[in-house]
Amino acid sequence: MSSNAASEGTSVPGAKDAVVILGAGPAGLACAYRLLASGIERPVIVLDRAKVPGGAGASFRWKNHTLDHGPHAFHARGDEPEQLVRELFREEPGVLLDRTKKVKVFLKGKFFNYPLQVREALLKFNPFVSLRIIVEFALTGMIHLLVSIPVESFEDWGRKRFGATLYKMSFGDYTRKVWKTDPDKISRKFAAEKIQGFSFINLVKKLFRIGGQVTEPYFQSVIYHRAGSGSLFLRLAERIRQMGGRMELEADVRSLAHEHGRITSVRYAKGGEEHEVQVGFVVNTIQLPSFIRLLGEQAPFVARHHAGKLRYVSLVLVFIEFSIERIGEETWFYLLDNEFMFNRVTEQKNLSPYTMEEGKTVLSFELTCRLGDEYWNMTDAQLYELALADCKRVPALAKHISAITDYTVRRAPAVYEIYFRHFDHHAEVVLGYVQELQNAVTIGRRGLFLQGDMHQSVEMGLEMGKRLAAHDRDASEPLGKLKSDYIRQYVRYLEEY
Ligand SMILES: Cc1cc2nc3c(=O)[nH]c(=O)nc-3n(C[C@H](O)[C@H](O)[C@H](O)COP(=O)(O)OP(=O)(O)OC[C@H]3O[C@@H](n4cnc5c(N)ncnc54)[C@H](O)[C@@H]3O)c2cc1C
């Protein structure tokens, strides 16, 4: 340990030990911001292993472009997270762009609107497929009304709502491709978490033109910083520093010392040295299983065992530069058919033209895989060839292939939480253990094993910051109650639905 670390580890007499936040993604930053804005008397320290703050929402420079890790538009709901984002840029009118997402799916050689409009699908499919879909749709609806058939898996859920053919075409094949798992092994709770607002009744209403909203309106309206998603978090980190918070980047958290149910210190590696900081509270926003691993062998076997059952898929992003002004109007489109290796194509220029060099556009191609599998281990050149092969299968892209000038590849480990059947049981045990730690909370998409967006992580960070600051001023309300109320509010998968 460095000498600097030794002094870090010594408490100043009379000073309160720090609130240490693990992770400077949207959740960790929002929590630090709110703790400081609420006037907490403890030092607030944010640790992240990345070079820049923002977690998965950070951007990076490539040539004269600023790129996000896949699309990262901030959903606008008019509530606290949105107000915070607007407040950060109050004095710079015009830097926040209000956009409506244009999302499509590419299926059987044609583009369809997303979310799926049943009417459009029926009109565009060949008449035999359409007839089959209608008959299955009606029959499965009736059967499920008359007989109670258990819905255990994502596949059961999809078949019940859409009938076998429409389910397979719109969700089944795609789910297998993205999650690298048979949809029969995925929990039905995945549908409730991920495909919110997608209701059978509303689809039918839409079909017969009697109203019906197939997705919540907020999913369509987004805010985007003209210089890329990461600019939101660079500014938030700047505010945290201005308010007296400490940001330690390139600080890889290695272990958490704990005794009698309290975390006493955090060790992290930075600049080739080990550092240790004494803690009053820990706010975790890193992957839940990683957090348990940091607690080491002293954590109960049962918590470690169940944490090991929580799994992720990783992501490879191939960015292809085209020397043309723009390819299309879509913000992104999904590649649903099995013949495609990649899941989604994004034209970030449609969120902000200022992120790209003039006269050029960059498309990002997303490929999910397992950490260390054949795709993860492919060379950049091999991955580019795969993306190019997918380009050739989409006429709207194929006609621009001669305009390709360059590419780059990024790999992101453990980005999508897999909701295997019974994942909720494993998560419940792990969250139950964290509940017992007297001075630690776990929040955010990563910390709670959720499927949420940046808006949700910011909301969770702000809410926890507010509650912790209040608790620190007046500890009459036990931390245990604060934590269980919070989990009840945000972790819907623990409910029976
Ligand atoms: C391809 C893709 C597209 C997406 N598109 C959108 C979108 O359009 N809109 C939207 O709102 N959301 C989108 N999301 C979701 C969004 O990225 C997440 O909801 C959000 O980033 C979660 O924030 P978080 O703070 O909970 O976690 P993260 O952003 O993952 O932050 C966790 C942080 O912990 C740090 N960390 C982990 N381990 C350690 C360690 N040992 N030591 C130190 N630091 C550590 C990481 O470096 C990271 O910075 C997308 C996600 C992906 C993968």
pLDDT in tens, 231-258: 999 999 999 999 999 999 999 999 999 9
CA 5 to chain centre: 33
Q: Hey, what are 370's tokens?
A: 């397992």
User: What proportion of the chain, given as a percentage, has pLDDT over 90?
Assistant: 70
- The answer to whether the Cα torsion of 301, 303, 306, 310 is positive or negative is negative
Residue-wise pLDDT for 323-364, tens only, equals 999 999 999 999 989 899 999 999 999 999 999 999 999 999
Measured at the CA of 201, the angle between CA 197 and CA 207, to 5 degrees, comes to: 105
* Tally of CB atoms within 10 A around 140: 20
Among 194-198, 402-406, 468-472, the minimum mean pLDDT is found in: 194-198
Of the pLDDT bands very low, low, confident and very high (cuts 50, 70, 90), residue 88 is very high
For 402, counting Cβ atoms within 10 Å of its Cβ (0-12 exposed, 13-18 middle, 19+ buried), the class is exposed
| More confidently predicted of 12 and 468 | 468
The predicted structure's pLDDT at residue 205: 54
Distance 237 CA to ligand 1 centre (A): 15
Q: With contact defined as beta carbons under 8 Å apart, do 250 and 271 qualify?
A: yes
| More confidently predicted of 27 and 131 | 27
Helix axes 80-88, 230-242, angle to 10 degrees: 80
Question: Domain limits of the chain?
Answer: 3-72+228-300+421-494, 116-214, 311-417
In this predicted structure, the answer to whether residue 84 has a pLDDT above a threshold of 80 is yes
311-417 fold? Polyamine Oxidase; Chain A, domain 2 (3.90.660)
In this predicted structure, the answer to whether residue 49 has a pLDDT above a threshold of 80 is yes
In this predicted structure, the answer to whether residue 75 has a pLDDT above a threshold of 60 is yes
| More confidently predicted of 481 and 330 | 330
Q: How many residues does the chain have?
A: 497
CA 181 to chain centre: 19
Contacts of residue 234, Cβ cutoff 8 Å, sequence gap at least 6: 52, 53, 54
Question: Which strands sit side by side in the sheet containing 103-107, from one edge to the other?
Answer: 110-113, 103-107, 332-335, 344-347, 361-369, 312-322, 404-417
Among 1-10, 330-339, 385-394, 405-414, the minimum mean pLDDT is found in: 1-10
307 vs 324: CA distance, rounded Å: 47
Distance 72 CA to ligand 1 centre (A): 10
- Look-up: residue for tokens 């033209």? 353
Among 176-180, 333-337, 449-453, the minimum mean pLDDT is found in: 176-180
Distance 388 CA to ligand 1 centre (A): 27
Q: With contact defined as beta carbons under 8 Å apart, do 71 and 274 qualify?
A: no
Mean pLDDT in residue range 391-417: 97
- What ranges make up the beta strands (E) of 343-418? 344-347, 361-369, 404-417
Question: What is the distance in angstroms between the CA of the first residue and the CA of the last residue of the chain?
Answer: 50
| More confidently predicted of 36 and 495 | 36
In this predicted structure, the answer to whether residue 183 has a pLDDT above a threshold of 50 is yes
Testing ligand 1's pocket by substitution, the residue of 47, 49, 314 carrying the most ligand atoms inside 8 A of its CB is: 49
The predicted structure's pLDDT at residue 3: 37
Mean pLDDT of the chain: 89
Measured at the CA of 31, the angle between CA 26 and CA 33, to 5 degrees, comes to: 95
Residue whose CA is at the smallest distance from ligand 1 atom 29: 55
Which among 432, 407, 440 is positioned nearest to 257, based on CA atoms? 440
Residue ranges lining ligand 1, Cβ < 6 Å: 23-28, 47-50, 55-57, 69-75, 252-253, 285-286, 290, 315, 366, 415, 444-446, 452-455, 457
Mean pLDDT in residue range 256-261: 95
| More confidently predicted of 456 and 189 | 456
Q: In the structure, how many helices (H) and strands (E) does the chain have?
A: 19, 19
292 vs 64: CA distance, rounded Å: 40
180 vs 183: CA distance, rounded Å: 9
Distance 57 CA to ligand 1 centre (A): 6
The predicted structure's pLDDT at residue 487: 93
Distance 206 CA to ligand 1 centre (A): 35
The predicted structure's pLDDT at residue 216: 46
Q: Hey, what are 199's tokens?
A: 């209701």
Whether the bond between 217 and the residue before it is cis, its omega within 30 degrees of 0, is no
Mean pLDDT in residue range 130-134: 81
Testing ligand 1's pocket by substitution, the residue of 75, 249, 286 carrying the most ligand atoms inside 8 A of its CB is: 286
User: What proportion of the chain, given as a percentage, has pLDDT over 70?
Assistant: 91
In this predicted structure, the answer to whether residue 433 has a pLDDT above a threshold of 70 is yes
- H/E stretch holding 282 reads strand 273-284
Among 115-129, 132-146, 341-355, 479-493, the minimum mean pLDDT is found in: 115-129
35 vs 197: CA distance, rounded Å: 33
Residue-wise pLDDT for 212-227, tens only, equals 444 444 468 999 999 9
Half-sphere exposure of 78 (CA within 13 A, CB side): 3
Of the pLDDT bands very low, low, confident and very high (cuts 50, 70, 90), residue 204 is low
Cα dihedral 351→352→358→362 (10° resolution): -40
Distance 118 CA to ligand 1 centre (A): 33
186 vs 175: CA distance, rounded Å: 9
Q: State phi, psi for 226 to the nearest 5 degrees.
A: -60, -20
Contacts of residue 445, Cβ cutoff 8 Å, sequence gap at least 6: 27, 417, 451, 452, 453, 456, 457
Mean pLDDT in residue range 40-46: 96
Q: Hey, what are 434's tokens?
A: 């964290």
In this predicted structure, the answer to whether residue 449 has a pLDDT above a threshold of 90 is yes
In this predicted structure, the answer to whether residue 265 has a pLDDT above a threshold of 90 is yes
The predicted structure's pLDDT at residue 210: 43
H-type alpha helices, 243-371: 288-294, 301-307
In this predicted structure, the answer to whether residue 281 has a pLDDT above a threshold of 70 is yes
Residue whose CA is at the smallest distance from ligand 1 atom 38: 286
462 vs 179: CA distance, rounded Å: 30
409 vs 82: CA distance, rounded Å: 31
Contacts of residue 109, Cβ cutoff 8 Å, sequence gap at least 6: none
The predicted structure's pLDDT at residue 32: 98
Burial 169-187 (b: 16+ CB within 10 A, else e): bbbbbbbbbbbbbebebbb
- CATH of range 3-72+228-300+421-494; options 3.60.40.10, 3.30.565.10, 3.50.50.60, 3.30.360.10: 3.50.50.60
178 vs 416: CA distance, rounded Å: 9
